[in-house]
Amino acid sequence: MKKVITYGTYDLLHQGHINLLRRAKELGDYLIVGVTSDSFDRGRGKLNVRNNVLERVESVKATGYADEIIIEDYLGQKIDDIQKYNVDIFAIGSDWEGQFDYLNEYCKVVYLPRTKGVSSTMLRAESQEVYKVGIVGSGRIANRFVPETKVVNGVEVVSVFDPDKENAIVFSNTHALKAHSDNYDAFLGEVDAVYIASPHLTHYDYIKKSLEAGKHVLCEIPFVLSGTQAKNLFDYAETHDLVLLEASKTAFCPAFCHITTLVKSGIIGEVIDVKASLSKMVKGDTRELDVTQAGGAMNEHAPLTLMSIIKLLGKDYSKVDFYSKVENGVDVYTKANICYPHATASITLGIGVKTEGNLIISGTKGYIYVPAPWWLTDYFEIRYEDQTKNKKYFYCYDGDGLRYEIQEFISMIANHRRSCYKLRRRESIAIANIIEMYNNKENVTIL
């Protein structure tokens, strides 16, 4: 039996893809098709893939040409696959002419003619609707957001809202936006979607008004400080067919997504404990130290650390205990112990106390170590008792990392997906519930 293997993203499957698959199939008796994973595509900077990996696999399967479909997930996998499946021919489109000649050492390499006049890039350009996004707030994160949108197709930041008109004008001029406003209703009339990067206590009202105006919403962390509010907002969005997404950037970056996949696959066995820490020394007259602006380590840092725990252990915890050092009504250090029926977890947070800032996921077979700053994940290790089995993983974390959440947000709108597996609605609600418990002083011990 002569085996042929080919690879591709197969985004927006078109006649050119089908022709290539047919030509590859004609080269032998058995065709293996490698479809790139979402995390692999993002790691290579492909942020504009319209269909997720499951949709792309189904499209390839529907052509009837693939005898077997595999997922391409890492650099160098082509060599491994060729040897693993005893492949005779590697086939790829002629636009890659010469770039895979190194595979001739392992099998025959054939460059197949491409179908002229059609490509995924062309189809995206023809069918891509550009969504007009407005930014609420003009602070540090908002200023990082605009440059990050430049690398994602289908999005244009057109306006900024700030209740301080002068701030809105400065922001608009800095980023060459078409409009600015200190009137929220007028602002909403100019946009299709809203990115909220305003002070914590304003999030709920801005989200609610945006949804009621029929706008999709991406909201910075902390999403809201109440589980009940979070549930009400997500219920409204679902009922009215709108995208509502918490902008927890780590949840969408390639490396962290791979960590959750590996953990769920059982690579370190049953997860028994997760420890996540995050600290940033804050001084002076700042929002983080202002009790009237929901300052404090818990409100500031808990959303990211809790996200990692809830993604890995789920939302069905049985008990949470908090321990805090408080100054001027604000927690400058908080530790929370979270108990599950078959596991434990803890978060350690500081804005006046410094801690390591790593993530450790302990299992019955081994553990995953993510060094500080783990929330900007670009590297992690899987470690075992037998150190010869340890493995290191390296990933790209491009720019300020906001591009990954922006791409997911726009993809959800374009593809009419109202739920995101990278950060489920129920997970965002669970995070808000724990933060609300703390703010309500439930099980809080002051050190």
| Domain spans in the chain, listed from the N-terminal domain onward | 3-123, 128-249, 251-446
What is the per-residue pLDDT for 41?
59
Domain 251-446 has CATH 3.90.1310.10: no
**What's the count of helices (H) and strands (E) in the chain, helices before strands?**
14, 20
The CATH number corresponding to 128-249 among 1.10.3720.10, 3.40.50.2020, 1.10.760.10, 3.40.50.720 equals 3.40.50.720
**Could you tell me which of 227, 202, 223, 168 has the C-alpha nearest to residue 293?**
202
Q: What is the pLDDT of residues 231-286, one digit of tens each?
A: 999 999 999 999 999 999 999 998 999 899 899 999 999 999 999 999 999 988 88
Write out the two tokens for 368: 């995953």
DSSP string, 48-111: ---S-HHHHHHHHHHHS--SEEEEE-STTHHHHHHHHTT-SEEEEEGGGTTTTGGGGGTSEEEE
Percent of the chain predicted with pLDDT > 90? 79
How far, in Å, CA of 46 to CA of 63, rounded?
24
DSSP string, 343-360: EEEEEEEESSS-----EE
Quickly name the fold that domain 3-123 has: Rossmann fold (3.40.50)
Q: Distance between alpha carbon 391 and the CA centroid of its chain, in Å?
A: 23
Write out the two tokens for 44: 């290579």
Is residue 241 a contact partner of residue 418, using CB atoms and an 8 Å limit?
A: yes
Domains 3-123 and 251-446 share a fold: no
Q: Distance between alpha carbon 291 and the CA centroid of its chain, in Å?
A: 30
What distance separates the 2 farthest-apart alpha carbons in the chain? 75
Count other C-beta atoms under 10 Å from residue 38's C-beta.
25
- Model pTM score: 0.80
Q: What is the pLDDT of residues 391-403, one digit of tens each?
A: 999 887 888 999 9
Write out the two tokens for 268: 């370190």
Which segments of the chain have a pLDDT < 70?
39-50, 116-128
What is the per-residue pLDDT for 75?
75
What is the per-residue pLDDT for 11?
82
**Could you tell me which of 85, 131, 87, 80 has the C-alpha nearest to residue 109?**
87
